[in-house]
Chains A and B, each alone.
Chain A
């Protein structure tokens, strides 16, 4: 175990500058930065779309837009937030941090890595191009089916559906490439002595995410391909007249769609325990239990998909199976929650911004998880299904559980990435504004959902007016708070108090042994892990 490793960097002395640096780069940190920047930009784009929705829903009746445009905004908002904001953010962290955390010189397949990123901007163009085309009288705008593409609506839809199908293809290729790269990196690039069970939790979270992506993204690609041939080449996959079935699309879609939830969350479950450990100044509790729980959740993720369409009709044994297997996910998740809390237990805790986000994340994501448990109940689901309750539930899991988790990661690692401390005071302001406005946006949606307000409808009954008004005002507050986030990041990139190598007093792990910011080439000599 006394071998050391020196990376052989060809471009050591002359890597290009300016735009060519970013177009051609094979450096994991450059690519990570591009992923994170892209994610932030698309987060604002997707967010402004939904502010259009909330403006329309401010009061009953149709004010600002026609229902078709309303539907387009909803569908594209979801696709952008999931595929262009959350997933690239997680991949960006993987690129930046995995080589640093496992002591590798770079990602294992650097050129592939570059391609993985550069597939994203074309996909974003494909998703949003139909809006622009519609302005010039070509086509009727983006897909108006919601992000789920259900036929027959998606078969009747216009050119926007075609563009979205291919955007999914490109995003899928990007995710598969990213997953291949991460799996190879984790299996082949670890520092000598770092066994799998010594890997940082973030690496575990991403390894399982990558396996889920490899297993499910191609199925989605197949499903939308069938949609494309049904639309243009006369097949009858989703058409009863030809012996097909629209419900089959729901099976294929959610076979991908449910694991997708864990694809978005597992990387966050990876680094949140590291943040908790850092700011509690004591070792992570239950490392093994957490790893096994992540595996259990990854395995269960691919066998529970039909709980997304209980009301579509299926045999009772199938309903029962999908209900019980879904509820079974809460067992390993409960183990994780226990470990997270126990990591903080009796620790010397301080509440810098990343820790605020992490603790807030546990509570809010907990609400997301528990409301999911009631949705998994077949009998109760008939009431909840397709209501605003569902919308509130998955925003607690994906906004709080996903994006606020990512924000915790941003504040945690920003000093390491830039070499400068962010503005702690503004960071705390950002947390409190986000947490409060987030809750004020979505708690009312639980209420109106329970009272029967359906999702994806631009108009609603008068009785829901007050709650929707609160929700809309808070949504704008939530959106504006994110401008503060952007400001804090830009300010930090431009300068500020110099960060030390270790940045946080309680930080553990290889990434903190390098300088802040790390050298252009990460570990030119692989460290040896005891």
Chain B
């Protein structure tokens, strides 16, 4: 057991933010459920809930930054944040694993199985086990589903550019981190700015890619097994990149304000870890969704 050079563990004030945040989530969720089921007030409850969630998140994080700046967090608390962040990223890995699992299952098991029935009894006579696949078609909950013709998203256009963008951003954030450790403010801010811009560029490219998929390739969320896994995996990844970029912007502003010292900058490192995690997930996506 480590001995603690500072002997006090900081237990914060009571806070109303968590409970109001939960209430906001309740409103956001009920609103969403109402609106997908075409009931009244759904959208307004959603907007209200989202506003509360965003406001509370900012207030909460703001409190933490203030506490940090007033020197409440020392080595002992810092270790709590580090372990906590690592465990949180592990839970995120498990979340993505579910969608990767769905991709592998469909590709390796359900699509070959559907194509592999005895020809005398199969309802899917002309269906071949190929990937990408939109499935054999058939009646879905009473409505006819005709497997659409579509073109798969190749790896070597926008996706390759996106890979380059994200990998570069991983390098620039590390460059910024080195600068932080050596206390070089200009290099730090430049590195962070570059990382943010690369993140934004990635999101723009992904927007273009989705537009291209929907308008020219005939590839949509409803395009069977391929469309579902493609959009869910890249979509959730894009959502994480969006969150990561917002966090990077906050960190950039904090860098410019000089919040971090070479010894004491968990906020920076936590976001950097998260960014690297998002980066690694993208490599998995690039290999298994786009390339192979």
Contacts and interface: CB of A to CB of B under 8 A. Distances in A.
Contact of A241 (B4, B10, B13, B145): B145
A126 B222 contact: no
B14 A11 contact: yes
Interface string B116-149: 0000000000000000011111111100010100
A240 B138 contact: yes
17 contacts: A1-B3, A4-B7, A109-B80, A110-B11, A118-B21, A119-B22, A121-B22, A122-B29, A155-B141, A162-B36, A180-B84, A188-B83, A214-B91, A215-B90, A217-B94, A239-B135, A241-B139
A496 B142 CA distance: 65
Contacts of A179: 87, 91
B98 A166 contact: no
Given A8-B10, A10-B11, A216 B228 contact: no
Across chains A and B, which 10 residue pairs bring their CB atoms closest together, nearest first? Answer: A222-B98, A243-B225, A24-B14, A243-B135, A115-B18, A234-B222, A241-B138, A218-B95, A242-B224, A245-B110
Contacts of A152: 141
A7 to B, nearest CB: 5
A462 to B, nearest CB: 36
A440 interface: no
Interface in A158-184: 159, 162-163, 166, 169-170, 176, 179-181, 183-184
Contacts of B114: 240, 243
A9 B14 CA distance: 11
Contacts of B18: 111-112, 114-115, 118
A226 B236 CA distance: 12
Contacts of B220: 234
A510 to B, nearest CB: 14
B214 interface: no
B222 A162 contact: no
Interface residues of B, number: 77
A309 to B, nearest CB: 14
B263 to A, nearest CB: 19
B150 interface: no
Interface string B236-255: 00000000000000000000
B158 interface: no
B25 to A, nearest CB: 6
A219 B95 contact: yes
Contacts of A27: 11
B30 A129 contact: yes
Given A244-B225, A245-B106, A5 B15 contact: no
Contact of A176 (B91, B101, B102): B91
Interface string A80-101: 0000000000000000000000
Interface of B: 1, 3-4, 7-19, 21-23, 25-26, 29-30, 32-33, 36-37, 39, 60, 72, 76, 79-80, 83-84, 87-88, 90-92, 94-99, 101-102, 105-106, 109-111, 113-114, 133-141, 145, 147, 220-222, 224-229, 231-232
A236 B140 contact: yes
Contacts of B7: 3-6
B102 A226 contact: yes
Nearest to B88: A180
B19 A162 contact: no
A115 to B, nearest CB: 3
Interface in A1-60: 1, 3-11, 15-16, 20-21, 23-27
Nearest to A173: B25
A138 B95 contact: no
Interface stretch (A191-199, A410-418, A483-491): A191-199
Nearest to B77: A108
Contacts of A105: 9, 11
A190 interface: yes
A36 to B, nearest CB: 18
B133 A24 contact: no
A11 B13 contact: yes
B135 A236 contact: yes
